[in-house]
Copies of this chain bind each other. A is one copy, B any other.
């Protein structure tokens, strides 16, 4: 018999999975070109040519240097190159030992969380948030504490944040650019978070770690370079994934940054190496460690996503929808007119538009639009959104 805790999770279902299946069903009836499945956040653009070229080059080496076990934190030359790349781009001063290669950002987060969390430790998440965090917290028997956003800017509500930090707060997860809102945290936000955390660390006499989940770091439409959080708060860990920047989500490759400034950083690095083994990741996939090291200067195909974003955002505004300005990632978070999320999703479904409700992200009354689809699909969807706007006015 399935365990009770996993049975409970199964009962909740997955709206993204269900939307996918519904999309397949509708496509058979109306034709794939007339169904607008905006539910899945799978990068649409191809991996850059450099990925293929790197693979071709790397496999000319001795197979034992490519496919074998290595140091459990990953190949040293790969970690050195990543440290240098971060230092060049963000003015940090990381070394090889600060970088631990991981099975994507999810692998980095789970390894870090297991290393830090005791049973019933509290982990704060900023509404709305990626639902995977709920699973990660459950995995290591923590307690999830949700922080409200400022509903205008989707920056955190700092008062709410401060009031919910307790003696048991171990970790605070942030995610900018954000899934599902597309919002990015301003430097001011990061400074205020850091101030509050430092004050609370002092008050409680122990560390509160900031865990920054950054798979969308390079997908920013405002021209900004986002602040690197380790420079603002010592006990910051950064989970990065190459899934979005290199369009290789299936390859499960990323890394965790543990800066020297974090307290007991040497011990924490050892602990994360250990949990990486314990959880059964063992190490990040070896060939792709070497591939990403060759591709650190590749740029994400921002133009592609920007075009989709611009067209759709403008249209939705013109149609009178309330939309969070999407500054990054590939999502638009749209308010359900009148606030009734369920009705909004149903009406969208009538227009063959498949969205994921805000409640899936811990924030009811909204829906997420993933615009990582073809330009053609975006253009064809505009009349469907017109129809949706009409239906919502009824």
A residues with CB within 8 A of B? 1-7, 9-10, 40, 42-43, 46-47, 51-52, 55-56, 59, 62-64, 66-70, 103-104, 106-107, 109-110, 114-118, 121, 132, 135-136, 138-139, 141, 206-207, 247-252, 263-264, 267-268, 270-271, 274-275, 277-288
**Chain B residues whose CB sits within 8 angstroms of the CB of A267 once the complex forms:** 2, 10
- Name which of A2, A43, A138, A283 has the most chain B CB atoms within 10 A of its CB: A2
Complex partner residue of A52 from B1, B4, B51, B59, CB under 8 angstroms: B59
Query: Are B110 and A279 in contact (CB-based, < 8 A)?
Result: yes
Closest chain-B Cβ to A253's Cβ sits at a distance in Å of 8
The residue in A10, A114, A117, A285 that gathers the most chain B C-beta atoms within 10 A of its C-beta is A285
Nearest Cβ distance between residue A25 and chain B, in whole angstroms? Answer: 16
Instruction: Determine the chain B residues whose CB is within 8 A of the CB of A132 once the complex forms.
Output: 277-278, 280
Q: Is the CB of A115 within 8 A of B2?
A: yes
B250 and A116 contacting across the interface, CB-CB below 8 Å: no
Give the residue name and chain of the B residue nearest to A248 (CB). B67
Whether B10 pairs with A118 at a CB distance below 8 angstroms is no
Q: Is the CB of B56 within 8 A of A117?
A: no
Top 3 closest pairs, chain A to chain B, by CB = A250-B286, A106-B280, A135-B278
List chain B residues, Cβ under 8 A from A43.
68
Chain B residue at smallest Cβ distance from A289:
B250
A278 interface neighbour in B1, B9, B249, B264, Cβ under 8 Å: B9
The count of identical subunits is: 2
In the complex, how many angstroms separate the beta carbon of A304 from the nearest chain B beta carbon? 13
A269 to chain B, nearest CB (A): 10
Which of B42, B207, B283 sits near A250, CB closer than 8 Å? B283
Give the residue name and chain of the B residue nearest to A284 (CB).
Answer: B252
A107 cross-chain contacts in B, Cβ below 8 A = 280-281
Docked pose: A217 CA to B284 CA in angstroms = 24
Known contacts A55-B55, A278-B138; is A118 also within 8 Å of B5 by CB?
Answer: yes
CA distance A3 to B270 in the complex (A): 12
Residue numbers in B under 8 Å from A117 (CB-CB): 3
Instruction: Given A56-B59, A104-B282, output 9 extra A-B contacts at Cβ < 8 Å.
Output: A6-B275, A7-B271, A10-B274, A46-B62, A67-B248, A67-B251, A69-B249, A107-B281, A110-B280
Instruction: Report A119 CB to chain B, min CB distance, Å.
Output: 8
Q: Is the CB of A250 within 8 A of B4?
A: no
- Bound-state CA distance A282–B284 (Å) is 13
